[in-house]
Amino acid sequence: MGKILERALFAIAFAPIVFAIPAWSQDEGPQKPAGEKGRAQRLDFDIFKSSIQPIFLKKRLGHARCYGCHTGANRAFHLETLAPGSTDWTEEQSRKNFQSVSQLVVPGHPELSLFLHHPLAAEAGGDAFHSGGRQFASYDDADFVTLVDWVRGGAPHSNSPSATPSALVYVTNSAGNTVDAIDPSTNQVVQIIHDVELPHGVGFSADGARVYISSEADDVLDVVDRESTKIVKKIKLSGRPNNLAVTNDGSRVLVGIRSGDGAVDIIDAASLSITKTLPVHGSVHNVFVTPDDRYAVTGSIEAQMATVIDLRGEQVAWEIKFDHGVRPMTFETNPDGSTKRMFVQLSDVNGFAVVDFAKHAEVARILFPTDQARFGKAEQRERTPSHGIRVSPDGRALWVNSTLSNATYKYSLPELKLVGVCELLLVHPSNGPATGAVPDWIAITPDSSRVYVSNSGARSVTVIDAATMKPIVNIPVGEVPKRLNTLDLSKIK
């Protein structure tokens, strides 16, 4: 079999598996992306010339240039030889290069394009071996992003999704400087927000026009124009932020301040300025708003305490002390919309606490099955056994991550009965046994049908079918993905 044909078949046979489909087996084939109509299906030659070709010639630290190896006639990815003394290809040569690369690309589908997953590091979801090495260590590499954008059919760095999705799931790449937006109808990253170093929390304005991101590196709240992904304002905070919450009416953004004794910066969304810095006991890790917009609740790891803030007077209403540091929380509502119970994850607890909101007291503690707790030691996450919890929008299920089980559990509401479990992917380090994905957060689509789990140790987001509790796909994202939040665009317009 000819080398090129062999490789093409290889691409067809394996591309979807190595790039987009998780290591665990699955019954369904790769998801057929929906919403094709709005997508550009042609590769842009001008962008190829101006942005893609320069990457082939670029000296990138620690890597030989693509050009150094890919001028041979026996390469499917074949580059023309530059004329002596010239530093760029002629128009005619560029056309030939374009022709060669085009054959390794499925326009609109980065996950199916050999051109992308062959030079991408295996650890980041790329092919197992490339003689040219791991040219791109992660999905976040700036040059790789340029290639992906081109394949996706958009102009590099224009970053605006061409179709109009009904929701977007945002994930902050907490050890990177990007935030990815996933379209749940195709389960692809359709937009990347750049230049937010150490992004922590993410939220949205009521009209969906702005994305708020707290940046731990700069002590700011970045206000991003959603369509263009440009940062339009940096609001200086009173200290190093952690997570944030936006009131459901969109009027206020609350940012938890981790440095110092503990505070919440309250930002008026109209003027985009801080109106109050409310002190609370203990530095704040996460902050949430109850579904009825009456209260905000902050959690402190250090003070082992949750503080409930009355949002009308912006005053502390009550506090509740725990025996461990307070981690993520989520709320169950009464029929009238008021808050019934609060589910609270705690340091060192492989489960969660149940708080009666009216009684201001913990009424139960639910622990995960101990026989499933096989992970967390190699990852050194034993002190954070359970991180990520969310009541589904329809109020009928509670989804909770367990790092020790490397899984996401589903409980029925209001019974709090364990319904089932979805095992997450394994990570295969080159030098040791498989470890867990270290799940960090949960977001759910507005129709409650899909659950998104960020795998902080696996540079991916797992999509779970809420009904079958089976994983659908692992989406490669940036470095140490953590907080997830869903923007419901169907309500806006």
Q: Interface residues with ligand HEC (CB under 6 A)? A: 7, 64, 66, 68-70, 75-77, 104, 114-115, 118-119, 129-132, 135
Min dist CB 375 to ligand HEC, Å, is: 33
| 109's tokens | 């589908």
Nearer to ligand HEC by Cβ, of 299 and 476: the residue is: 476
> Least CB distance from residue 148 to ligand HEC, whole Å?
12
Task: Decide: 338 and 294 in contact? Cβ < 8 Å.
Answer: yes
CB 226 within 8 A of CB 207: no
In the complex with ligand HEC, which residue's Cβ is closer, 134 or 252? 134
> Least distance to ligand HEC from the beta carbon of 72, Å?
8
Cβ proximity to ligand HEC: between 135 and 403 the closer is: 135
Q: Is 293 exposed, middle or buried (0-12, 13-18, 19+ CB in 10 A)?
A: middle
Query: Which structure tokens are listed for 281?
Result: 């006991």
**In terms of CB distance, is 74 or 271 closer to ligand HEC?**
74
Compute the distance between CA of residue 443 and CA of residue 226 in angstroms, rounded to an integer. 19
Nearer to ligand HEC, 67 or 409 (CB): 67
Q: Shortest gap between Cβ of 213 and ligand HEC (angstroms)?
A: 30
Q: Which is nearer to ligand HEC, 44 or 216 (CB)?
A: 44
CB burial class (10 A; 0-12, 13-18, 19+) of residue 335?
Answer: exposed
> What CA–CA distance (Å, rounded) separates 37 from 125?
27
Q: Do the beta carbons of residue 347 and residue 301 sit within 8 Å?
A: yes
Cα separation, 160 vs 226, in Å, equals 8
Instruction: Provide, rounded to whole angstroms, the least separation between the CB of residue 33 and ligand HEC.
Output: 22
Query: Which of 49, 194, 64, 178 has the alpha carbon at shortest distance from 119?
Result: 64
Residue whose C-beta lies closest to ligand HEC:
132
Q: How far is the CB of 274 from ligand HEC (least distance, A)?
A: 45
The nearest distance, CB 182 to ligand HEC, in angstroms, is 25
Rg (CA), the chain: 24
- Of 70 and 226, nearer to ligand HEC (C-beta) is 70
